[in-house]
Amino acid sequence: MNDYKEIQRLLEENKGYITTAQVTAAGIQRRVLAELIVEKRIYRVARGLYALPETWEDEMYFLQSRFSKGIFSNETALYLHGLSDRTPISYTLTFPHGYNAAGLKEQNVKAKFVITEIYSLGIMEKLSPCGNLLRVYDVERTLCDIVKGRNACDIQLVNQAMKAYAVCKERDMAKLLAYAEQLRVKPKILKYMEVLL
């Protein structure tokens, strides 16, 4: 299979996107991407990310490609899980403490930083509104995050999310309480659950 056909296959598998890392992993030289750009068969979306011209732009996917350690969290995760009807004005991403956050402000990203021990707690994959896979915190982790300390979301948003969770068939109260214990927000979570359940 020649390089162009392999890139075409990768683009089809990834809904019109391809990364430099995928090209390198397939044993294709990066110059092939440059040739495809000159021929206007693909375009450069961001550093290391390319797309077919007819591909619907997915800002959330772009952000995650650019900031690979970022996990969609807080208000953005609520939206992705359908627990909020507010479309995020800016996206919230959580990073491990010490991550180099250069470029985040220019991208209109709210960055949260957490210690390594809790960074990976509750990571899952979810489809973006455009159908691309994103890394996002699960519902239970998100609920704990939105009630946490000085970073708590506004009360109306929290109430809406908690009410939606209370009637959700897939809710996992044991997981929610375990996360709440680990993230030190158990009294707040219990207070909300007491009112709603």
Please spell the DSSP secondary structure of 176-187, one letter per residue: HHHHHHHTT-HH
The CA distance from 104 to 131, in Å, is 23
Per the listing, tokens 């957490």 go with 114
Domain 3-55 has CATH 1.25.40: no
The pLDDT assigned to 152 comes to: 59
Any residues with CB less than 8 A from the CB of 140 and at least 6 apart, and which? 122, 172, 175, 176, 179
Average pLDDT, the chain: 88
Q: Say how many CA atoms lie within 13 Å of 104 toward its Cβ.
A: 19
pLDDT tens-digit readout, 132-167 = 899 999 999 999 999 986 555 678 888 888 989 988
Q: Is the pLDDT of residue 197 over 60?
A: no
The pLDDT assigned to 99 comes to: 87
Q: Is the pLDDT of residue 72 over 60?
A: yes
The pLDDT assigned to 104 comes to: 78
Per the listing, tokens 């890392």 go with 21
Distances (CA, A) of 180 to 111, 143, 174: 21, 9, 10
Over residues 163-183, the mean pLDDT reads 92
The pLDDT assigned to 144 comes to: 95
Alpha helices per DSSP H over 86-170: 116-119, 139-147, 155-166
pLDDT tens-digit readout, 10-68 = 888 888 888 888 899 989 988 999 999 999 989 888 778 888 888 888 889 888 888 88
The pLDDT assigned to 196 comes to: 62
Backbone φ, ψ for residue 2 (5° rounding): -80, 170
Amino acid making up residue 123: I
The pLDDT assigned to 66 comes to: 83
**Residue ranges, CATH 1.10.10, the chain:** 3-55
For 195, the enclosing helix (H) or strand (E) is: helix 186-196
The pLDDT assigned to 100 comes to: 82
Q: What's the predicted TM-score (pTM) here?
A: 0.83
Over residues 120-126, the mean pLDDT reads 96
Contact between 80 and 126 under an 8 Å Cβ cutoff? The reply is: yes
Quote the tokens at residue 21: 């890392």
The pLDDT assigned to 3 comes to: 84
Q: Is the pLDDT of residue 108 over 90?
A: no
For 96, the enclosing helix (H) or strand (E) is: strand 91-96
